[in-house]
Amino acid sequence: MLTLLLYVLIVGLVAAVLFLLASAVFGRGEELGPLPEGTTATVLPAEGITGADVRALRFQQVVRGYKAGEVDWALARLAARIDELQLQLAHARGETPQLSKAGADTAVSRYESAPHTDTTPSRYDSSAAHPDDAEATSWPAPSTPEKP
C-alpha cells in the first residue's frame, strides 16, 4: 500500500512540474482586454432593423444567464414578426417588399394565408409556447378558494 501511495505522489509531483514548466515556456498567450464600460459586442443597426438583423444577433455567453435555446426561439419569433410587419407595410404602401432570404418564406406565407387577420398569438395560444416548455401548453384550470 505504501508503494502505491508513493507512486501516486511521484506522478502528481511530475505532473505539477510539467505544468509549471509548460506555463513558463508558453505563457498565458494573447489576452483580449475587457470591453470598455457601457459597450457590448452585440450589434444592431440604429434604425431600419430587419428580421435578418435579429437573426444575426449573437450574445455573450456567461455563467449565469438565459438558456440559449429560449433566446434563439424568441429571436426567431421576433425576426419572423418583423419580416411580416415589413411585408404588410410594403403591401399597404404599394411597394415591392425587400426581405432577407431567410425570413421571406415565413413572412410571405403567413401574410398571404391571412392578410387581414391579427397573427399576434394570445397568451393562451399553445402554438406560441416554447417547444421545450411543456407547462406553457397546458394551463391549469382556475380554482375557487375553499371556505373555512
Does position 116 have pLDDT exceeding 50, yes or no?
Answer: no
More confident residue, 17 or 55: 17
Q: What share of the chain is helix, strand, coil (3-state, %, to 5)?
A: 50, 0, 50
Report residue 31's pLDDT band, with 50, 70 and 90 as the boundaries: confident
Report residue 141's pLDDT band, with 50, 70 and 90 as the boundaries: very low
More confident residue, 62 or 96: 96
H runs (alpha helix) in 44-100: 51-55, 68-93
107 by Cβ neighbours in 10 Å (0-12 / 13-18 / 19+) ranks as buried
pLDDT digits (tens, 9 = 90+) for 47-75: 778 888 888 877 776 777 777 777 888 88
Name the average pLDDT for the chain.
70
* 118, 112 Cβ separation under 8 angstroms: no
Report residue 148's pLDDT band, with 50, 70 and 90 as the boundaries: low
Give the pLDDT mean for 116-123: 42
Domain residue ranges in the chain: 42-118
Cell 464600460: give the residue: 37
Q: What is the pLDDT of residue 40?
A: 66
Q: What is the pLDDT of residue 10?
A: 97
